[in-house]
Structure 1
Amino acid sequence: MSEQAEKSSFWRAEVNYFRLALGFFTRIPMGRTVQYQPEFMHTCTRYFALIGWLLALLLVALVHLATPIWGSTVAIALMMVASVLLTGALHEDGLADTCDGFWGGLTAERKIDIMKDSRIGTYGSCSLILALTLKFVLLQSLAQSEMLYLAIVLAYPLSRAMALTHVQDLPYVSGLGTVKKNKSDPLARPVSHKHLLFVIATGGIAALALPVSTILILALGVLLVRYLLRFIMQKNIGGFTGDVLGAAQQVQELSIYLILLAMVGSNS
């Protein structure tokens, strides 16, 4: 195979991985010609943060178009609705299930069992209401501080990148509450260091628009949240599930908004 043919084959494969990630992590159609193999799902996670970028850019465009017509309050509400529709509430569902399980069960097995129940309980309902309310208030405050667009393009990719890091040092927990370190599910296996570095770099690149001091505080903040979440996961179920990673993304997103808003306040 010629060098040109090899490059063409490489890029076709990468586009296919991106489309798989798009179809798995969002409700955006990935097209009928996409090629699927179970092992491809492990590779496509490298584009998790880039999916966050795509979502962020779409939502920024929506806010930009809606604000002159209805004002920032309505524009942000529409953005949140669009975000849920674009992702199919994938991460919000994970947050609700995780809260129901972690606070509704006494043993790891029972927590996992509750998390897999399609019905939502009191803890899940409260977590969704509080999280969405807090997100709306934070985005409103960031808009008033003229930080909304930057906050979105930073929080959406970076929160997804940080959620993926839990796969590296926690075991996947099965539906029976048992740990499976050699889980066959490709999405549950650790990725290579190069793979992880790409995810983190694409997830956090928007931070370069911030002052160096803010970047350092942001990095410290997301790492502290990351290890706090890891401790909670380990304590409750001894590892992670897909629901827990969704919850981690939501918590990290809110944490990034809080950190940015705190830095704006301290510099005013």
Structure 2
Amino acid sequence: MSWIGRLRAIVTDLRIGASFTTILPFGSPKTMDDGALTRTSWSFPIAGLLVGLVGSTVYAIAQTLGLAPSPAAMLALASTVIVTGALHEDGLADTADGLGGGPTRERKLEIMRDSRIGTYGVCALLISLVLRWSALTAIATPRSIAIALLLAHAAARAGLPIFMALVPPARTDGLSAGAGRPAGPNAAIALGLGAMVLVVGFGPGKAILAVILLAFIGLMTAWLAIKQIGGQTGDILGTFEQLGETAILLMAAVLLYPGMPS
């Protein structure tokens, strides 16, 4: 393949990855097929950077207009939820309802497919939103907010391909089962991109701590999913992203908080 062909393939992958993970107007390329999602999964961290960029831009505009850090942080958080179509928040809510309210594996999976939200789902969303909002409020400064959002959204999505590759689907149908398992190189590229972003934002030493934290979250999420429903689903993937995003924002609140010594 010529370098022009390779470049076109990369652009196509980026468009598919962004169109799946966000509602941004990239359009659906004509080359979209059953294996497109796993083939383009390496681009998930880049799509995360786009989401983080939207949130940080909204925060900067809100601050310029004179809003205090608290409402500005809420607007930034709301913009990231809107631009992703609440895709991962929906997964978190469904997972909380299913794993919390289903007595059997079959019932848990049935609840997770139900579009209605229950008490467990509401509580999970509230906890996630409040933790992320409070972390952004604590960071406060536009530059640090931008770093935190870019890191959180890129790093949280960087582990999705390897999670999909290593944890078997819980169903024979559905989004996760239909997507298949990403190839090793795609998962490795996504991990490498996520690690690179963390190193740039946190520095090498603290980036290692962030990677360990995300790996622990991934292991615990995988263990719980396998134990409760026999594997992963699209909702489980959304939950993994939400847990990772929240963890990185909280870590950023500690490391980037204006009052913390450098």
Gaps of 5+ in 2: none
Q: Tell me if 1:148 matches 2:145.
A: yes
| CA deviation string 1:180-211 (max 9, x = no partner) | x9x5x2x231x222211110122232222323
1:76 and 1:48 map into 2 onto residues whose CA distance is 24
TM-score, scaled to structure 2? 0.89
Bigger shift: residues 9-18 or 30-39: 30-39
Who is 1:208 aligned against?
199
Who is 1:170 aligned against?
167
The Cα shift of 1:144 comes to 5.8
- How is 1:39-54 mapped onto 2 (pairs within 5 angstroms)? 39-54=35-50
Conserved 8 A contact 1:25-1:90 = yes
The Cα shift of 1:81 comes to 1.5
Q: Tell me if 1:251 matches 2:251.
A: no
Which letter does structure 1 place at the counterpart of 2:188?
A: L
1:10 and 1:146 map into 2 onto residues whose CA distance is 35
The Cα shift of 1:255 comes to 1.1
Q: Tell me if 1:29 matches 2:25.
A: yes
Structure 1 counterpart of 2:221, from 216, 229, 239 = 229
Which letter does structure 2 place at the counterpart of 1:17?
A: D
The Cα shift of 1:175 comes to 6.7
Q: Tell me if 1:160 matches 2:151.
A: no
Conserved 8 A contact 2:97-2:111 = yes
Could you say what the CA RMSD is over the residues aligned between the two structures, in angstroms? 2.4
Who is 1:128 aligned against?
125
2:8 and 2:218 map into 1 onto residues whose CA distance is 34
Distance change >3 Å, CA 196–CA 33, structure 1 → 2: closer
Distance change >3 Å, CA 144–CA 154, structure 1 → 2: same
- How is 1:59-138 mapped onto 2 (pairs within 5 angstroms)? 59-69=55-65, 70-138=67-135
Distance change >3 Å, CA 126–CA 264, structure 1 → 2: same
Distance change >3 Å, CA 31–CA 48, structure 1 → 2: same
2:172 and 2:73 map into 1 onto residues whose CA distance is 37
| CA deviation string 1:153-195 (max 9, x = no partner) | 1110100112332112211111789xxx9x5x2x231x22221
Structure of greater Rg = 1
The Cα shift of 1:71 comes to 2.9
